[in-house]
């Protein structure tokens, strides 16, 4: 073999080798994440871990506030609830939204709700949903409220419209129709709205105006009962000035956590018993609320939490 031929073959081998190296580098550059992407992925993972730890912390503090069995026996004494308002749980409020659906064979038969309709009966069961859920018009909804702080619960409802304005506020709880107007709360006491004995025992999501985007519920816990409220069996209409004064006094920034691993779970016999009997308090081993709010306390005399119930956009509904 001549030197020229041998040289040409050597250059050909070297060229192929270089092409392979370049191809490998190009493949690595297209498949391997960049340092920026790797950092973003790590930050997202860390944020997810932090949020999970926060959810666990909120749930732990909330459940611990329910107290021991000895503390729960003293139901009528306010000291059975939290009196130390510096306790982290005293600035918390637990809310569970229940979306009602027809019961099936897998649902606990002892946690079903029976609705009478004309000549028939409809068996319903509650299913937990997050506070950011959207509801179809006509959807039946119930609320569960639990305060680790001893005090008094008030719930105000306002319609919200597409332009961001609100209807006049109505005090929907307490009323004389539910528990005779008793709105006292202590750690572990579950308040259901509407009550199981109310007829109907649910709210029906119904637009009263075409441009209505949802209902906005405001939950208020006060250390002392609010004066000069003339309760009746119906919701009490409030003035905008009155509600604005309450907001100025008690509204403050709020941190919300959703207990994702409980979403979709159905109403239990334990929750049904606690909701129907104010002398039955939930224990630390019972289900926590679906959504836990913590306020950055503006006033140690009360706390306020707002939860919007949004209508589902019919244009984005899946077929």
* DSSP symbols for 27-63: HHHHHSPPHHHHHHHHHHHHHHHHHHHHHHHHHHHHH
Distance set, CA 146 to CA 67, 186, 210, 294 (Å)? 13, 8, 33, 13
| Residue pLDDT, tens place only, 130-183 | 999 999 999 999 999 999 989 999 999 999 999 999 999 999 999 999 888 999
| pTM reported for the whole predicted model | 0.80
Span 101-115, mean pLDDT? 89
List b or e across 143-169, with b for residues whose CB sees 16 or more CB atoms inside 10 angstroms: bbbbbbbbbbbbbbbbbbbeeeeebeb
The more confidently predicted of residues 69 and 49 is: 69
| Residue pLDDT, tens place only, 190-223 | 999 999 999 899 999 999 999 999 999 999 999 9
Span 89-109, mean pLDDT? 91
How far apart are alpha carbons 55 and 294 in whole angstroms?
Answer: 11
Residue 128's φ and ψ, nearest 5 degrees, are: -65, 140
Q: Is the peptide bond before 200 cis (omega within 30 degrees of 0)?
A: yes
| Residue pLDDT, tens place only, 114-123 | 887 666 788 9
| Residue pLDDT, tens place only, 251-281 | 999 999 999 888 999 999 999 999 999 899 9
């Amino acid at each position: 073999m001549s030197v020229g031929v041998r040289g040409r073959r050597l250059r050909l081998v070297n060229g192929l080798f270089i092409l392979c190296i370049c191809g490998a580098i190009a493949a690595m550059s297209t498949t391997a994440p960049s340092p920026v992407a790797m950092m973003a992925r790590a930050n997202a993972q860390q944020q997810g871990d932090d949020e999970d730890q926060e959810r666990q912390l909120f749930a732990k503090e909330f459940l611990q506030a329910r107290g021991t069995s000895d503390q729960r026996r003293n139901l009528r004494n306010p000291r059975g609830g939290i009196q130390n308002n510096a306790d982290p749980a005293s600035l918390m409020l637990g809310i569970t939204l229940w979306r009602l659906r027809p019961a099936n064979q897998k649902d606990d038969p002892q946690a079903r709700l029976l609705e009478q309709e004309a000549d028939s009966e409809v068996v319903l069961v509650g299913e937990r949903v997050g506070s950011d859920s959207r509801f179809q018009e006509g959807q039946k909804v119930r609320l569960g409220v639990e305060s680790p702080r001893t005090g008094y619960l008030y719930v105000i409802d306002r319609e919200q419209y597409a332009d961001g304005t609100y209807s006049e506020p109505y005090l929907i709880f307490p009323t004389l129709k539910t528990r005779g107007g008793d709105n006292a709360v202590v750690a572990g006491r579950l308040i259901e709205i509407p009550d199981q004995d109310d007829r109907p025992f649910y709210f029906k999501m119904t637009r009263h105006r075409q441009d209505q985007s949802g209902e906005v519920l405001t939950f208020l816990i006060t250390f002392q009962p609010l004066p000069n409220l003339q309760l009746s069996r119906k919701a009490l209409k409030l003035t905008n000035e009155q509600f604005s004064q309450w907001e100025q006094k008690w509204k403050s920034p709020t941190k919300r956590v959703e207990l994702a691993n409980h979403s979709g779970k159905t109403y239990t016999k334990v929750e049904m018993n606690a909701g129907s009997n104010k002398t039955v308090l939930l224990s630390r081993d019972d289900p926590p609320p679906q959504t836990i709010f913590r306020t950055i306390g503006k006033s140690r005399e009360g706390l306020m939490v707002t939860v919007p119930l949004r209508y589902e956009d019919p244009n984005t509904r899946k077929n």
